[in-house]
Chain A
């Protein structure tokens, strides 16, 4: 079975450019999570969706960040405009229905903003 799929795996962009990260959750999973990992702040939850609806976006750093989940099999995290401090590894994770609580993580997207 396919796990969580993220693309691209690596992204290098210049400050001010728009960046879009993509995620395909595990089929049948109802919850999807976006995390950011940096050396300074560790793993931070940015936003999560349940049944395609955003439930909690309190972790989104600022208005430059936005996330969408147009259907059960696809989500995007967009940064516009990007800044060097956005450089991090961004993980997408998905979780089965409410009776089960493990989150399964994708391989991550390493973003470098120069």
Chain B
């Protein structure tokens, strides 16, 4: 039972263009959503988050959008840079701080 899904396993984008990563969830009890970024041989690092009471949160080049009715969130990276090449995980939480992760999207930003 995959409660958080990232349907695109990989994404390739040209430097300077927009990267859009998508995530769908099924559990209506999720109240907080996060994106983590992971480089090889490193642990995931927190990128940006959004509470279920908001529909948008922005931090520099990163913006997360939440559509509660569709149970969908997306991460926009503008402009994409080669250093953004990594695996991105969408995560969600209900009560407490146990996180449920999606399967990840590997992003490759081409110079």
Are A and B subunits of one complex? no
Which residues in A have some Cβ–Cβ distance to B below 8 Å?
none
Which residues in B have some Cβ–Cβ distance to A below 8 Å?
none
